Amino acid sequence: MVKEKAIEFLNVCEEEWTNEISYAALHTLTDNKRNKQKMLSLSEDISKLQTHLQRTSESLTEALEERFFKHNWELLSKVQCNTGKTCSVQQTAWRRNREN
């Protein structure tokens, strides 16, 4: 009788083990991922990026003043949009939205 109950208990454990352990493991992984600290950029890094983008913008502007290349124009527009300067396209869209 005890042996049969022990075997039955082992069978139940084997059947439910996967579900119970999988749930607990997934829950733990999810919690760990959610609670993981996120590293923010240092102000030095942001400053370096801003300086790099500003220099790139200046060199592309000079290159365009010497001779127009579509590639340089596209790069300049991307750099200026990323440096926080408002692109002329954005200004135009903003004015139109404001007027309407």
Residue whose tokens read 């600290």 = 37
Phi, psi of 27 (to 5 degrees): -60, -45
Rounded distance, CA 55 to CA 21, Å? 56
Contacts (Cβ under 8 Å, ≥6 apart) of 66: none
Q: pLDDT tens digit string along 36-70?
A: 887 766 777 777 877 887 888 889 888 888 888 88
Residue in this structure with the two tokens 């003043």, named with its chain if needed: 65
**How far, in Å, CA of 43 to CA of 6, rounded?**
63
Give pLDDT, residue 89.
46
> For 6-20, what is each residue's pLDDT tens digit?
888 888 777 777 677
Give me the residue label for tokens 């579900």: 19
pTM of the model: 0.43
